[in-house]
């Protein structure tokens, strides 16, 4: 099962990098719950797809590279690197900055029936806001 989950994640990530949000239908359960620090839980496939659409609007050239996948039992952990240029609007960014960001993300998924039913997304939001110039970096 570990190899299957890893292959599913790699395939879906390739499609997501092409902007195909509907790939989430094959990855996430309809009632998936996403936990992200500093944000309310996101409940349901459609709400999760909207979150990804917002990210694609804000960073249309975004690209995520998988650095490592670990699968044990029904849990997957993916360490990845996100890169993109903020040229579009996003609900958490006051205005497009035109700046490029690079940040590390960690995504943990709990699988049932071949799909993720609950996940946790950790990313360096402070670092991203500093790279965008929205939040000052120490010493500035």
pLDDT at 140: 67
Q: 58 pLDDT exceeds 90?
A: yes
Calculate mean pLDDT across residues 17-30.
91
pLDDT band at 96; cut points 50, 70, 90: very high
Residue 119: CA atoms inside 13 Å, Cβ hemisphere, count?
26
Q: 11 pLDDT exceeds 80?
A: yes
Rounded Cα distance between 88 and 5, Å, is 33
- How do residues 37-46 score in pLDDT, each as one tens digit? 888 999 999 9
pLDDT at 1: 63
Q: 94 pLDDT exceeds 90?
A: no
Calculate mean pLDDT across residues 9-21.
88
Q: 139 pLDDT exceeds 80?
A: no
Q: Average per-residue pLDDT in the chain?
A: 92
- How do residues 123-137 score in pLDDT, each as one tens digit? 998 999 999 998 888
Domains of the chain: 2-132 (3.10.450.50)
């Amino acid at each position: 099962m570990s190899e299957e989950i890893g292959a599913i994640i790699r395939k879906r990530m390739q499609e997501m990098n092409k902007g195909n949000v509907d790939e989430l239908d094959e990855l996430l359960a309809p009632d998936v719950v996403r936990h992200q620090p500093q944000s309310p839980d996101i409940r349901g496939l459609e709400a999760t797809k909207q979150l990804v659409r917002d990210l694609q609007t804000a960073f249309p050239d975004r690209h995520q590279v998988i650095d490592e996948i670990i699968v044990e039992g029904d849990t997957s952990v993916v360490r990845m690197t996100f890169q993109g240029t903020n040229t579009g609007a996003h609900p958490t960014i006051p205005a497009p900055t035109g700046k490029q960001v690079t940040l590390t993300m960690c995504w943990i998924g709990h699988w049932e029936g071949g799909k993720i039913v609950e996940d946790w997304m950790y990313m360096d939001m402070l670092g991203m806001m500093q790279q965008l110039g929205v939040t000052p970096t120490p010493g500035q």
